[in-house]
Chain A
Amino acid sequence: MAVAKNKAQQPDAARRPSDKEDDTKAKDQTASPVADLGKDQELAAYRDMLLIRRFEEKAGQMYGMGLIGGFCHLYIGQEAVVVGMQMALKEGDAVITGYRDHGHMLACGMDAKGVMAELTGRTHGYSKGKGGSMHMFSAEKGFFGGHGIVAAQVPLGTGLAFASKYRSKDNVSLTYLGDGAANQGQVYESFNMAKLWGLPAIYIIENNQYAMGTSLKRASATTDLSHRGAAHGIPGERVDGMDVRAVKAAGERAVKWCRDGNGPIILEMLTYRYRGHSMSDPAKYRTREEVEKVRSEHDPIEQVRLRLLQKKWATEDELKKIDAKVREVVNEAAEFATNDPEPDPSELYTDIYA
């Protein structure tokens, strides 16, 4: 599979001196093709990304009000990654990620009320209030968490792929990890086994440029993370993670690669988080201008909005209606999560053993 990139669509924040070296390496590669989305798909992508955006904004507010505790890592800015990848999946495929997981859950089709109620630590949260922001699961939707230890989900996701192959199914496992997690040793232990055993594992490195406060170039000896499987013979592709069309196209190629029995593959999604690492992060390690530039020039939702308007697939009014509908879903979720009772004290001792 080709290592490809779409320079024109790449967020400027991703351009660093070290990236230029990687550019030369990738010179002979073709630009990553973008999927040709139809009207319904564009509208669905718009709605799904907007839901994540509004949900996260609301979560941020509720955190500020003290309704959400502990760590809370928002996904704002990265919405195109999960929404685009989800478009490539089918029933029975598995998804697993780290702690910046709210977007993944909503993209998997998990109920906003249940996710928000988990954030507030209430009875009808997905984990009965016992998991919180970083630890949510849905057996029904094939979402395997929600893991709080950086990169621990990578061997787990590899195990999900192992189970698919063990059962002779053609389902794939999507394992999301960040650019920070990409430096953890267990990632390479997993890469090795996945390739050795030909497991249907898609590793999606969400490169949002910062591991907490440390920029990629300050933490990684090489910054083209799509090459991280090279030592194990795993192909990788660099994708404009701000363009849902590019993500979907890459996702479909990767899924086909895995379903065809070719073993694992890596997708590096160049993306950007607008908010701090967590709610308590003032993000002093980057400039306001850097964030503003990505927001104004590469916002994943704005890109879809402009296309919808340009192609006259939707009017401003119709889009506002979608926005209103999404706000309604989010407000209902917030309302539910605020009024849902805290778990019964007896829940302290349940679900430890089956």
Chain B
Amino acid sequence: MPIQVLMPALSPTMEKGNLAKWLKKEGDTVKSGDVIAEIETDKATMEVEAVDEGTLGKILVPEGTADVAVNTPIATILSEGEDASAVSETAKEASKPAQQQKPVESTPPAEPKKAPSAAANSPQLQAPAEPDVPEGTEMVTMTMREALRDAMAEEMRRDPSVFVMGEEVAEYQGAYKVTQGLLQEFGSHRVVDTPITEHGFAGLGVGAALAGLKPIVEFMTFNFAMQAMDQIINSAAKTRYMSGGQIGSSIVFRGPNGAAARVAAQHSQDFSAWYSHIPGLKVIAPYTASDAKGLLKAAIRDPNPVIFLENEILYGQSFPVPKLDDFVLPIGKARIAREGKDVTIVSFSMGMTYALKAAEELAKEGIEAEVIDLRTLRPMDTDTIVASVKKTGRIVTVEEGWPQSGIGAEIAARVVEHAFDYLDAPVTRVSGRDVPMPYAANLEKLALPTVADVVEAAKAVCYR
């Protein structure tokens, strides 16, 4: 039986990659550990090693092929006595289970599976024109990852007191490649690799900010920021108040937050509600690359500590971003991502993928949902939510975080306080389940909200 060489995943969230190069030819002898090919994503390049000895039988995916799905057979290795002609049949069979497996492995429902031009599929295009962008502005397609990097680079060019620090931000180019190229442009003085010492470097960053610098502190993920919680809350958020306004900290803490894929309870959770609880902090959680860029630039300029919650699964997604020299968005303003009159759906960050998909499904059934992307969680744009509820009379909140004391709970309270008489149905929350994130693929899926959950909730509040 020939051995299948499958397209490997470089990270838990990788779904596809490019086959950059074959280093062996058909008919070459290979032994375990030999590098046979190179694959790449927008984040990294990796070598593919042979897992067994034999002869490289057939190359099924030629070099230069883009967007090869993870688990696709890319070649076969023949044992002694086998010949390459038997290969094509087994390859076909092998690819089937791989494809079936896909929906489980791939968390983001909005990820365009087959589209080389992701922007064409981006729900962003269905949104009303961004009011912050002048009409006729050229839009360029870029990933969330690139937008974040550009925002930092632009602000670093503009202000020499801005610097980036964190684990693997410099030499390694970022654990998630968000800081790619910054070391090369700004040098190790301003792009600082730290030891694995979250409590220490978060505090050091706050100290530098008290002295007037403007640090961008990257947490490899916000899971690790819990180690630094005291410095973020007791030192960063409160010093301005405790000093009677004399000394504050202009600092950004950023990094991926929320559910990742198949990394289980300690590495997969949403801290949005935690930070949004704290006076003295601003909290931003963008969904589109455009918002990420405009808001990260605003966050870096802001004189207050800002928690900037990114999402690992969104890093590789592409969106149109306005081509402007200095695109800065206001902190604290929600965006109406889709207009509608029947029900309001409010979400942010990754939750927007469910909300927008659900709105599409609902439209097919004649329900016009208005989708609001909060973008900023603190200060929360209550006005935009309330104005929408006054129009629709119904509201569903969507988040991946836990339900108790969550963002949805806060929105529910505000709607009840400010628009109670306009409600035609109870405020309904769609959230992650009230459990630590499980590892098993099926359980993990069950722990997260789905498009169907949002559709169901929206229909329920519409009494349909």
**B binding-site residues for A, Cβ under 8 Å:** 163, 189, 192, 194-195, 197, 199-213, 230-231, 234-235, 239-248, 250, 279-280, 282, 303-304
Q: Does A221 contact B (CB under 8 A)?
A: no
CB neighbours (8 Å) of A156 from chain B are 203-204, 206-207, 210, 231, 235
B195 near A164 (CB under 8 angstroms)?
no
A159 near B205 (CB under 8 angstroms)?
yes
CB neighbours (8 Å) of A127 from chain B are 242-244, 246
Residues from 260 to 307 in A contacting B, C-beta threshold 8 Å: none
A155 near B202 (CB under 8 angstroms)?
yes
A159 near B230 (CB under 8 angstroms)?
no
B240 near A353 (CB under 8 angstroms)?
yes
Distance, CA A193 to CA B204, complexed state (A): 9
Given A166-B163, A352-B279, A190 contacting B204 (CB threshold 8 A): yes
Distance, CA A126 to CA B244, complexed state (A): 7
Q: Smallest Cβ distance from A209 to chain B, in angstroms?
A: 26
CB neighbours (8 Å) of B199 from chain A are 155, 185-186, 189
B207 near A186 (CB under 8 angstroms)?
no
Distance, CA A250 to CA B64, complexed state (A): 66
Distance, CA A67 to CA B453, complexed state (A): 58
Q: Does A202 contact B (CB under 8 A)?
A: no
A155 near B207 (CB under 8 angstroms)?
yes
Q: Does A139 contact B (CB under 8 A)?
A: yes
Q: Does A346 contact B (CB under 8 A)?
A: no
Considering only CB atoms, which chain B residue lies closest to A136 in the complex? B243
Q: Does A75 contact B (CB under 8 A)?
A: no
A145 near B243 (CB under 8 angstroms)?
yes
Distance, CA A311 to CA B240, complexed state (A): 48
Q: Smallest Cβ distance from B147 to chain A, in angstroms?
A: 26
Distance, CA A157 to CA B282, complexed state (A): 24
Distance, CA A123 to CA B239, complexed state (A): 18
Q: Smallest Cβ distance from B253 to chain A, in angstroms?
A: 14
Identify A164's interface contact among B211, B244, B250, CB under 8 A.
Answer: B211
Q: Interface-forming stretch among A43-51, A146-154, A334-342?
A: A146-154
Distance, CA A128 to CA B244, complexed state (A): 5
CB neighbours (8 Å) of B192 from chain A are 197
CB neighbours (8 Å) of A37 from chain B are none
CB neighbours (8 Å) of A146 from chain B are 242
A162 near B204 (CB under 8 angstroms)?
yes
Known: A152-B203, A155-B207. 5 other contacts (CB 8 A): A146-B242, A152-B234, A159-B205, A163-B212, A353-B304
Interface centre among B200, B201, B207 (most CB of A within 10 A): B207
Q: Does A203 contact B (CB under 8 A)?
A: no
Q: Smallest Cβ distance from B215 to chain A, in angstroms?
A: 8
Tell me the number of A-to-B contacts counted with CB atoms below 8 Å. Answer: 147
Considering only CB atoms, which chain B residue lies closest to A144 in the complex? B210
Q: Does A212 contact B (CB under 8 A)?
A: no
B189 near A166 (CB under 8 angstroms)?
yes
Distance, CA A75 to CA B279, complexed state (A): 32
Distance, CA A139 to CA B279, complexed state (A): 22
Distance, CA A135 to CA B250, complexed state (A): 19
Considering only CB atoms, which chain A residue lies closest to B233 in the complex? A149
Q: Does A215 contact B (CB under 8 A)?
A: no
Given A138-B246, A166-B189, A186-B203, A193 contacting B197 (CB threshold 8 A): yes
B195 near A159 (CB under 8 angstroms)?
no
Can you give 21 A-B contacts (C-beta < 8 A)?
A125-B244, A126-B244, A127-B244, A135-B242, A137-B242, A156-B204, A156-B206, A156-B231, A157-B207, A158-B200, A158-B203, A162-B204, A185-B199, A189-B199, A189-B200, A190-B203, A193-B201, A197-B192, A351-B241, A352-B280, A353-B303
Q: Does A192 contact B (CB under 8 A)?
A: yes
Identify A163's interface contact among B211, B239, B240, CB under 8 A.
Answer: B211
Given A155-B202, A186-B200, A193-B194, A166 contacting B208 (CB threshold 8 A): yes
Considering only CB atoms, which chain B residue lies closest to A137 in the complex? B243
Q: Smallest Cβ distance from A182 to chain B, in angstroms?
A: 15
Distance, CA A94 to CA B195, complexed state (A): 25
Distance, CA A164 to CA B212, complexed state (A): 10
Q: Does A196 contact B (CB under 8 A)?
A: yes
CB neighbours (8 Å) of B240 from chain A are 351-354
Given A166-B163, A193-B201, A159 contacting B244 (CB threshold 8 A): no
B207 near A152 (CB under 8 angstroms)?
no
Q: Smallest Cβ distance from A10 to chain B, in angstroms?
A: 32
Q: Smallest Cβ distance from B211 to chain A, in angstroms?
A: 4
CB neighbours (8 Å) of A33 from chain B are none
Q: Smallest Cβ distance from A150 to chain B, in angstroms?
A: 10
CB neighbours (8 Å) of B204 from chain A are 155-156, 158-159, 162, 190, 193
Distance, CA A273 to CA B210, complexed state (A): 30
CB neighbours (8 Å) of B163 from chain A are 166
Distance, CA A158 to CA B303, complexed state (A): 21
Distance, CA A146 to CA B243, complexed state (A): 9
Identify A131's interface contact among B195, B201, B209, B244, CB under 8 A.
Answer: B244
B207 near A163 (CB under 8 angstroms)?
yes
Distance, CA A152 to CA B280, complexed state (A): 18
